Structure formats: C-alpha cells, structure tokens
Structure 1
Amino acid sequence: MTTSCNKEVDRIKAGFNVETKESDISQGKVGVKTLHKQVEGHSFMKDCSLKSAFQPYWMTHCDLLMKTNNISQSEGASNEPMLNGQSANRMHNTDRPTDSETRSGDQKDERCPICLDPFKNKKQLKCKHEFCKDCLRQAQEATGPICPVCRVVFGKIIGDQPDGRMSDYTMPSFLPGFSDCGTIVINYEIQSGIQTEKHPNPGWPYSGIHRRAYLPNNKEGNEVLQLLKRAFQQRLIFTVGTSRTTGIEGQVTWNDIHHKTSMFGGPDRFGYPDPKYLSRVKEELKAKGIE
C-alpha cells in the first residue's frame, strides 16, 4: 500500500474512531470490516457516512489492496474488491434490472447501497436505483428527496428561504451579448426576521435584503425567469447564513443559484456578457429539481 493510501485510510479511521480488518481471502476476494472503538452505538446516518467514506477508497485502490495481500488470480476468478462481504463494483452498478427483469436466482445477492444488507421492502426511484424503504426514508429526512447514489432529485425540495417577495418588469435597453432584445429586471425583497428551526441559529435575528438581477428578454431568458419563480416559491433562491463578502452571521444569502446582479462587467463583476450563463443557471436549477 502506498504512503498516500495509508494516510487516507488513517484519516478515515481517525475521523470515525474505527479500525479495519481484512478477512475471508478466497478466489481473489478480500472481505473488509470496520470495527468501532467506542462501546456505545452510532446513528444511522453516521454509519452510512462511514460506509460511504470507505467505499470510494477501496474502489480506487483495489489493485493495491490485492497486491499488498499477495493474492494470486486463477483463470476465471473474480478480481473484485469486497466491502463488508459485498462486491464494491456491484455497489456502483447503476443499471439494476427491474423486478420483472431480475432472475429469481439473482435476487438473493441484491443489497441496499445504504445499509449493505439484503433489501427490505425494496423501493426503486425513477433513476432506477433501489433502496430499503426505511433506509430511503431516513436518507430523505437527512438530505431531502435526493437519490443517495446519483443525487438525482425524485421529489419536491422545499428550502429554508425566509418570507419575501419576487417581482419583475421589462425595459427596452439591451444587455451586452443580447443586442436583439430588451432586458428583464427581477427584484427580490426579504424582510428582516427571526431564524426558525431550519436555520443555523433558531431564535436569533437575521437581516433582510433587497436584490436586483437581470435576464435577456428573449425566449431562453423568459424560460429561466419562470424557473426562478418556481424556485422562489419553493424557498430555494435564498437561505440564512454567513455572508461570503462580509463574514457577518445571520444574513440572508444566495443559495447556490447564481444571478446576474449587474448589467455590465462580465462574469468577474456578476454581469454580462456571459454567453454560457443561461445554460449554467438552468443546470443549477435542475440540481434542485427545477426543470
């Protein structure tokens, strides 16, 4: 194992207070188990985070792992690394067959990618990934309706944006790079208030804001406007946190959906021209389930 590999394993073990044990070496497979040092149990999401932390490490360095253990491969033997007794490559199979396509002999080998145990009340998402019903429910409570494997949104995400108002109007002047149309002006108003349980410091005040943004008044610009309106209704445009420019806590800040707050100056000044902006912001909205 290389020095960098050992350092990465040591970092993960220290972070989760665990040790690892390799066992069941047969037919080119290595069983890797994690052993918690503490006596008390650990929460569901901590356990899942531990498995997620080790999973990509064994996937990336499986060849080094096998060389370290001097495993000789016989003809036709599997060379897949094993994580908690399961093939690491199988865990990343994103093209699982549906129930009607799965042969009965293969069902006993199917495992939930969250708990790594055989499925209990299996549920398949639209992205085709499958999970135990209870595992998916707990993951959804922790991170929202987002697939834990591929991050595709499978439900309606509601953010923690404070109450506010969004309005828009058009003007005839054009934006650099869009000389054939006018401009859409968007106004956001968020009043000051008290943080709720969804915010970093419940019961503490936050400072409101007024923000103005610009879009070209063409077909694509109007499509983005409608998407932004949906995102605002789902409380996804803003959040409460620490200002990236001032470092002051308890501020209403943008929530990873970028806006053009200036008509000019290019990307460095959050303005136009920026030929790829509209496609980028649509991808950011899509990542939040707005498309």
Structure 2
Amino acid sequence: MFKISKAGRAVVIYGCFTETGEPSEARATAAEVETCPLCMEPWKEKQRLICTHAFCAACLERSVARLGLQCPVCLKALRVVGDQPEGQMTEKHLKDCFGKECFCITYNIPSGIQTEAHPNPGKPFTGIQTEAWIPDKEVTLSNYGSSCLDGQEVLKLLERAFEQKLVFTVAATDGAADRVVFTDIPHAGNLYECRENGFLKKVRAALRVKFIK
C-alpha cells in the first residue's frame, strides 16, 4: 500500500511479516540505517539531523534547494547535528602585537567514553584542550574589487556549530586511545594562520555546507 507524504513522495507502508515473525516494517527500518532515504544508496558524507533522520550531503543540499530548510522526511526544521562529545567553548576579544583586533577561542573537551556514534562505543577517548584564532576583520582583494568579512559574525556561526556538536569528532587511532579531533571546519592555530588571505571565507564556506549561515 502507498501513501503520499507532505513532501509529495510515495511512501510504502508495510503490513506483512517476515519468516521469523518480525514485522517487515522492522526490516525496512534496519535497511534505512545503512542507506540514504533519498537516493537509496549507501551514505556519502553522511549528514544527521536533530530529528534523527540522516542523508547524503549532496542529497540533503538538493532537498534544501527544493523544500527549504526542513527535513525531507518529517518536514521538521532542518538542523544538522554531529557526534562531538560534551565540552566548553569560550572566547576573548584581544589585540595582537601589531595592535590588530582578534578573537581567541578556547575549546575544552574532557576525556570520556565513546557513544554509539563513535568508532568504538564503550571504549575511552582522550579529550582536547586547544586554542584557535579569528581576525576581527578580513579584507579580501580580487579582480572584482575588495570585500570585508566580519570576524564576529563568523564567531557567532562557530558558536552555533559548536552547539550543534559539529566542530569536533572522535577519531580512531592505532595502538592508543581514540582521541578528539577537529572536523573539516578550518581553524587557525596561531595569529599568522588566521591572517592568511581568505581564511574567514573558508570558514564560512565550511559552515555553509552544514547549513549554518
């Protein structure tokens, strides 16, 4: 039997049972765990939403272009979440040795035990305490003129990313405890890196892929 969802797609409703006596609905749920519900292929760059549905990054991007910022399955507000362990993010507004304003971010993720979302559930992981830097302003020159990005705006986007557990993840290591590492959102480990041309632009682009903009 078929039912038309609010998103305009036909959804199959299973009512039969398997040979083991389990509803085929449970079997369908197990299959969904391994595949993207939009393309029905194994996940590529898996994006998990706060509503628990997950999709390929490209599939989700195409869905947002059609439906807007809502989950294509349940139509709830779209919010990507990661597997970052619990921790703290604090910021300070400072001036560097050249008198230029900047932001110093301190991250503190304590060591703990991995969850089902991590490489080795139930095993310990080593946390991280580190600093990152963001310029107050960034002027980018191009053939089309110049543009200015506000570091404080990017900092607020990073705060949202941290709240949605997207800044860090747990990575498996060989012969040592798994450890907390940065995800693919660029971070500058010192003042020189954060002053590189186009740094804030790269950070915003990485956040945009995670629908933080």
Aligned 8 A contact 1:123 1:133 in 2:
no
Change (3 A) 1:147 1:122: farther
Aligned to 2:164: 234
Following the alignment from structure 2 to structure 1, what is the Cα–Cα distance between the partners of residues 92 and 198? Answer: 23
Instruction: Tell me how far 1:132 sits from its aligned partner.
Output: 3.9
The structure-2 alpha-carbon separation of the partners of 1:133 and 1:173, relative to structure 1 and needing over 3 Å to count, comes to farther
Percent pairwise identity: 35
Listed one character per residue, the Cα deviations across residues 75-101 of structure 1 (whole Å, up to 9, x for unaligned) are xxxxxxxxxxxxxxxxxxxxxxxxxxx
Q: State the shift of 1:273 in Å.
A: 3.5
TM-score by length of 2: 0.62
Instruction: Please list, as runs of the form range in 1=range in 2, the aligned pairs for 1:1-291 lying within 5 A after superposition.
Output: 120-124=3-7, 131-132=9-10, 138-139=37-38, 141-143=53-55, 147-148=59-60, 150=62, 152=64, 154=70, 155-173=78-96, 181-218=100-137, 220-242=150-172, 248=176, 250-264=178-192, 271-291=193-213
RMSD over aligned CA atoms reads 3.2
Structure that is richer in strand per residue: 2
User: How far does the alpha carbon of each residue in 1:20-48 deviate from its partner, in whole angstroms, 9 at most, with x for none?
Assistant: xxxxxxxxxxxxxxxxxxxxxxxxxxxxx
- CA gap of 1:217–1:133, structure 2 versus 1, over 3 A, is farther
User: For the Cα contact (< 8 Å) 1:164–1:189, is it kept in 2?
Assistant: yes
Q: Structure 1 residues 216, 272: CA separation in 2 closer, same or farther (over 3 Å shift)?
A: closer
Q: After TM superposition, give the deviation of residue 138 of structure 1 in Å.
A: 3.9
For 1:241 and 1:137, the matched residues in 2 are separated by: 23
TM-superposed CA distance for 1:248, in Å, is: 5.0
| Contact 2:90/2:107 (8 A) holds in 1 | yes
Counterpart-to-counterpart distance in 1, 2:169 and 2:175: 15
Give the Cα separation in 2 of the matches to 1:225 and 1:120.
Answer: 44
CA contact (8 A) 1:144 1:157 kept: no
Greater relative contact order (CA < 8 Å, ≥ 6 in sequence): 2
Length, aligned pairs only: 156
Q: TM-score, normalised by structure 1?
A: 0.47
Other-structure match for 1:76:
none
Gaps of 5+ in 1: 1-118, 125-129, 265-270
- After superposition, the C-alpha distances for 1:139-168 in whole angstroms (9 at most, x for unaligned) are 573437973573746410111100000000
Alignment gaps of 5+ in structure 2: 13-31, 39-47, 71-77, 138-148
- Give the 3 Å change call, closer, same or farther, for CA 149–163 of structure 1 in structure 2: closer
Higher Cα radius of gyration: 1
